[in-house]
């Protein structure tokens, strides 16, 4: 939802700087993504956010989403402490848990290939452009 890569313009990705940016809670929502989110909610879809952010960033992530007018999601899934696998392993594993719990994944949107690769992908997948960094 948020263009977090704006901080990294013309600089290499730096996890320390990125985490400091996350903790500011000031990432703006992408207007078209927010519009899609609101449309999905209006037709009864209950969105789940699955992010590579860590559990200790839950409160500020929720605050940031609400500041941007994003609310009403079903769940916010964050990486648990100690997880050592790849982004694909983490995200596909979390999607599998959702499916095993009876959820139907109607769509999957992400700016990284690791957001949408690995089963279960969902009925539709959408890769947003991100020219700033790559997560494998």
pLDDT score at 114: 84
Query: Do the domain assignments include residue 110?
Result: yes
- What is the spatial distance between Cα 127 and Cα 130, in angstroms, rounded to a whole number? 9
pLDDT score at 26: 93
CATH number, residue 101: 3.40.50.1000
Strand partners, 50: 77
Query: Do the domain assignments include residue 52?
Result: yes
Spatial CA neighbour of 17 closest among 8, 25, 26: 8
pLDDT score at 113: 84
Q: Which domain holds residue 47?
A: 4-8+28-127
Specify the number of domains making up the chain: 1
Query: Do the domain assignments include residue 69?
Result: yes
pLDDT score at 102: 95
Low-confidence residues in the chain, pLDDT < 70: 1-13, 131-136
């Amino acid at each position: 939802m948020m263009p977090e890569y704006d901080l990294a313009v013309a600089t290499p990705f730096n996890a320390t700087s990125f985490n400091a940016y996350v903790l500011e809670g000031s990432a703006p929502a992408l207007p078209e993504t927010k519009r899609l989110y609101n449309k999905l909610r209006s037709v009864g879809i209950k969105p789940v956010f699955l992010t590579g952010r860590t559990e200790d960033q839950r409160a500020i992530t929720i605050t940031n989403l609400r500041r941007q007018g994003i609310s009403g999601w079903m769940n916010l899934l964050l990486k648990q402490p100690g997880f050592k696998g790849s982004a694909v392993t983490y995200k596909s594993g979390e999607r599998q848990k959702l499916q095993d719990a009876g959820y139907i994944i109607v769509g999957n949107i992400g700016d990284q290939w690791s957001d949408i690769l690995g089963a279960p992908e969902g009925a539709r997948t959408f890769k947003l452009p991100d020219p700033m960094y790559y997560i494998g």
